[in-house]
A and B are shown apart, each in its own frame.
Chain A
């Protein structure tokens, strides 16, 4: 399986600011996904990022709030914009296992606290 790293691992931010989270994979992957895990809740898919095309957002998530970049097959960023305390969550990226595996592997996550 792919080795996935995320930066930062955690951050504490002020209301109204933005934070960009980076996701790096050690191999080329077609699909990358971004999830949110709010305190005490399960993981919720934010968007799917395919290299060379616009990200596809799930219901309840919009590009203005969560812009995503996917410049190449090993890297993606998620920005949490104009943050409020409700954005305090763990943000995780995942990648598909490749070759039609239909299996996702997850990064370690970024723990975001918004004050």
Chain B
């Protein structure tokens, strides 16, 4: 069975600080990796995804994530955060093939202080 671990449950940063949110997964086969974001009062939105190829993937709003297969990690980064990045961030994994649901981490609540 798949599992996803997000190490930081609550993160508070000041504007312009750099961000890195950790995500590790456990699964023996090929995986698809995702980061979703949920802004206050809004529904879950896809931030970025990795299926194959270049392990450094870029998403919306200046976010990027790096897949490190040897570490089973898919950490999310942003060089300079903004107040509008305040949200809940979820890392998720699927086994691919399109028919499988997602396994989510517990989420990281990010607060950006102006």
Q: Which residues of A does B touch, CB under 8 Å?
A: 1, 30-31, 33, 35, 41-45, 48, 50, 58, 92, 94, 96, 100-109
When chains A and B are docked, how far (Å) is the Cα of A41 from the Cα of B106? 6
Q: Which 6 A-B pairs have the closest CB atoms?
A: A45-B101, A106-B44, A108-B43, A42-B104, A42-B106, A43-B104
Does residue B46 face the partner (Cβ distance < 8 Å to A)?
yes
Q: List 8 A-B contacts (CB under 8 A).
A: A35-B101, A35-B102, A43-B102, A48-B99, A92-B43, A94-B102, A102-B94, A103-B34
For window 1-45 of chain B, which residues contact chain A by CB distance below 8 Å? 32, 34, 36, 43-45
> Which of A42, A58, A109 contacts B43 (CB under 8 A)?
A109
Q: In the complex, are the beta carbons of B46 and A105 less than 8 A apart?
A: yes
Closest A residue, CB atoms, query B45: A106
Number of A-B contacts (CB under 8 A): 55
When chains A and B are docked, how far (Å) is the Cα of A33 from the Cα of B104? 14
Q: Which residues of B does A touch, CB under 8 Å?
A: 32, 34, 36, 43-46, 49, 51, 90, 92, 94, 96-107
When chains A and B are docked, how far (Å) is the Cα of A1 from the Cα of B104? 20
Q: In the complex, are the beta carbons of A45 and B98 less than 8 A apart?
A: no
Give every chain B residue within 8 A of A58 (Cβ-Cβ).
Answer: 101
- Of A33, A103, A108, most buried by chain B (CB within 10 Å of CB) is A103
Q: A42-B90, A43-B104, A103-B49 are in contact. Are A92 and B98 (CB under 8 A)?
A: no
Q: In the complex, are the beta carbons of A103 and B97 less than 8 A apart?
A: no
Give every chain A residue within 8 A of B97 (Cβ-Cβ).
Answer: 102
Q: In the complex, are the beta carbons of B46 and A103 less than 8 A apart?
A: yes
Give every chain B residue within 8 A of A104 (Cβ-Cβ).
Answer: 46, 101-102
A59 vs chain B, min Cβ distance (A): 8
- Of B34, B97, B99, B107, most buried by chain A (CB within 10 Å of CB) is B99
When chains A and B are docked, how far (Å) is the Cα of A100 from the Cα of B44? 21
